[in-house]
């Protein structure tokens, strides 16, 4: 009897020991070894990105400072040769700033009907309205507030530029048709772009075309790309495609004795041609295509008409965020008796003038509509004025900040909602780097340091996209809890049933002993 009691006691101790090991060691060890690793993320700083973005959308303190205290100089009657260069040498304005020089109303430096002259750089010449001779300089400048505001709004980043930069991400009201059209044309911000010039010769038996594309790129396109170097990297290539035809058949118009392409048919031109262009599979950068199409002898001359049925002066059109096509007629360069194929040298100055204008639109250089009395100097061979570059730097920085903020915020919401996604240290590092770069970009933008703001905003985009598209985020995304139970129950149930039953038996015996003891005492 004593041996039986000893055996039962030993069994109870064994069951308790096994249960204790399972509860104290097994379950914590299993829980720790199977938990989802989630590195720390700066959720509080991510939640503040919306307010950072709002600050970035405001005009910078530096820009406001320019409006309130513009560096001015009273320039009286003297010869004004090479106006822009002279003004620039007087005061070399830094990136993001505007310097306005005020001349008396009676000055002959500007024609009578010109109120403001805006140069290629960051300077402008303003004709002063009438003022009293007794006024001091401060009173004169305070009387120029309206005119100065017009100059600054023309040359610097404003509300419409914000709308254009964020049109794809933020729903805004009070947007002009011009700004919306500009935003739809511009290709999205990217660290690099590929520019391809293609010559389409559908009739090589009739035309032997020669184009100095290398020299034309160096003369007309490369100066612009050099100026845009702080914004992105550019690669340029060219090709000649033979027997490449348009996707639509032009119609012959008896009234002008020429073939025409209507505006409605232009959308059908690109797809068939694009299949012949090819692509660079080694690069993920967006591609801008510029096509020069020389019609075959049986469809010459060929003219493009707009929606009002009027002939397009440039005989070209562009497709938003894709590129442009120019039709180049050569039928007047030879007679019907000419020996075929006819050697034809293409006027690259004419062609590149069109492509340069289209390239500016594709890269986001917006149309400027100055007030009456303003004269804007042509950007010349550079293809881009300094103040236009500043506006583009602003636009790209704001666009990058908005994009990176949206990406990081979306990622944070996803990780917060789905708790079984692994967050490894690399993702946490990329997220922290993106947040830090965003904060630095906004700070530099508010200070007017456009080059640094763009650099930080690009770093923020790269880091946010690396974190968002990290493959490790998908490992446990579609592994719900019910599947976990389906895996672990067959493993743990056979082991847990005897332990639980033993514990229940021990509890039952303990209750019985307590009841017997209570009965004896009574």
Please compute the mean of the pLDDT values over residues 459-477 and round it to a whole number.
82
- Tell me the pLDDT band of 91, cut-offs 50, 70 and 90: low
pLDDT value at residue 432:
94
Cα–Cα distance for residue pair 138/141, rounded to 1 Å = 5
- Angle ∠(241,243,248) on CA atoms, nearest 5: 105
Q: What is the pLDDT of residues 313-356, one digit of tens each?
A: 999 998 888 889 999 999 888 877 788 888 999 999 999 999 99
DSSP 90-148: H--PPTT--EEEEE-TT-SSS-TT--EEE-SSSEEEEEPPP--TT--HHHHHHTTHHHH
- Quick count: other Cβ atoms within 10 Å of Cβ 67? 17
State the pTM of this model: 0.74
Q: What is the pLDDT of residues 148-188, one digit of tens each?
A: 888 888 887 766 666 666 655 555 445 555 555 555 667 77
For residue 218, pLDDT over 90 is answered with: yes
Counting runs of H as helices and runs of E as strands, what totals does the chain give?
18, 14
Q: What is the pLDDT of residues 130-158, one digit of tens each?
A: 776 667 767 777 777 788 888 888 887 76
Please compute the mean of the pLDDT values over residues 445-474 and round it to a whole number.
88
For residue 65, pLDDT over 50 is answered with: no
Contact present, 404 and 460 (Cβ < 8 Å): yes
Phi then psi for residue 233, to 5 deg, are: -95, 140
For residue 8, pLDDT over 80 is answered with: no
Q: How many residues does the chain have?
A: 522
pLDDT value at residue 72:
37
pLDDT value at residue 21:
80
DSSP 244-268: ---SSPPEEETTTTEEEE-GGGGGG
Three-class DSSP category at 477: coil
Question: Residue 364, by phi and psi: left (phi above 0), alpha (psi -120 to 50) or beta?
Answer: left
What tokens were used for 320?
A: 């938003």
pLDDT value at residue 280:
63
For residue 233, pLDDT over 80 is answered with: yes
DSSP 144-183: THHHHHHHHHHHS--HHHHHHHHTTTS--SS--HHHHHHH
Q: How far is CA 284 from CA 281, 458, 460, in A?
A: 7, 16, 18
**Higher pLDDT, residue 86 or 500:** 500
pLDDT value at residue 75:
37
Q: What is the pLDDT of residues 427-438, one digit of tens each?
A: 999 999 999 999
For residue 413, pLDDT over 80 is answered with: yes
Nearest Cα neighbor of 437 from 458, 420, 421, 422 is: 458
């Amino acid at each position: 009897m004593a041996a039986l009691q000893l055996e039962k006691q030993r069994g109870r101790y064994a069951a308790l020991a096994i249960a204790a090991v399972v509860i104290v060691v097994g379950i914590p060890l299993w829980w720790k070894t199977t938990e989802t690793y989630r590195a720390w993320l700066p959720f509080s700083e991510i939640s503040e990105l919306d307010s950072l973005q709002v600050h970035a959308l405001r005009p910078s303190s530096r820009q406001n400072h320019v409006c309130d205290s513009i560096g001015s100089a009273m320039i009286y009657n003297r010869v004004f040769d090479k106006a822009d260069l002279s003004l620039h040498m007087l005061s070399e304005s830094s990136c993001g700033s505007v310097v306005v020089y005020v001349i008396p109303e009676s000055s002959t430096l500007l024609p009578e009907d010109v109120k403001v002259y805006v140069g290629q750089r960051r300077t402008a010449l303003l004709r002063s309205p009438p003022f009293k001779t007794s006024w001091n300089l401060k009173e004169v400048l305070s009387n120029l507030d309206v005119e100065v505001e017009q100059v600054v709004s023309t040359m610097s980043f404003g509300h419409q530029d914000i709308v254009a930069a964020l049109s794809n991400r933020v729903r805004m009201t009070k947007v002009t048709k011009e700004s919306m059209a500009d935003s739809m044309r511009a290709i999205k911000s990217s660290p690099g772009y590929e520019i391809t010039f293609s010559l389409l010769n559908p009739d090589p038996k009739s035309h032997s075309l020669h184009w100095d594309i290398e020299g034309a790129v160096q003369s007309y396109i490369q100066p612009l790309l050099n100026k845009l170097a702080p914004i992105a990297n550019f690669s340029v290539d060219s090709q000649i495609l033979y027997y490449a035809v348009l996707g639509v058949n032009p119609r012959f118009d008896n009234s002008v004795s020429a073939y025409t392409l209507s505006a409605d048919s232009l959308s059908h031109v690109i797809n068939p041609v694009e299949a012949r262009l090819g692509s660079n599979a080694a690069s993920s950068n967006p591609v801008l295509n510029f096509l020069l199409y020389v019609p075959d002898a049986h469809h010459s001359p060929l003219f493009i008409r707009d929606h009002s049925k009027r002939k397009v002066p440039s005989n070209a059109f562009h497709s938003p965020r894709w590129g442009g096509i120019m039709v180049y007629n050569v039928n007047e360069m030879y007679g019907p008796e000419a020996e075929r194929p006819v050697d034809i040298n293409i006027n690259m100055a004419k062609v590149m003038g069109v492509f340069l204008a289209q390239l500016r639109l594709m890269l986001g250089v917006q149309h400027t509509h100055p007030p009456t009395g303003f004269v804007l100097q042509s950007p010349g061979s550079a293809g881009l004025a300094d103040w236009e570059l500043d506006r583009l730097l602003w636009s790209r920085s704001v666009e990058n900040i908005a994009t990176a903020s949206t990406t990081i915020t979306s990622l944070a919401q996803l990780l917060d909602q789905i708790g079984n996604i692994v967050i490894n240290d690399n993702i946490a590092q990329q997220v922290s780097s993106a947040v830090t770069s965003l904060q630095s970009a906004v700070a530099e933008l508010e200070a007017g340091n456009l080059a640094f703001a763009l650099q930080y905003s690009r770093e923020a985009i790269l880091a946010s996209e690396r974190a968002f598209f990290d493959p490790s985020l998908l490992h446990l995304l579609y592994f719900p809890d019910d599947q976990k139970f389906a895996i672990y129950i067959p493993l743990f149930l056979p082991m847990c049933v005897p332990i639980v039953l033993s514990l229940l038996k021990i509890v039952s015996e303990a209750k019985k002993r307590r009841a017997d003891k209570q009965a004896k005492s009574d």
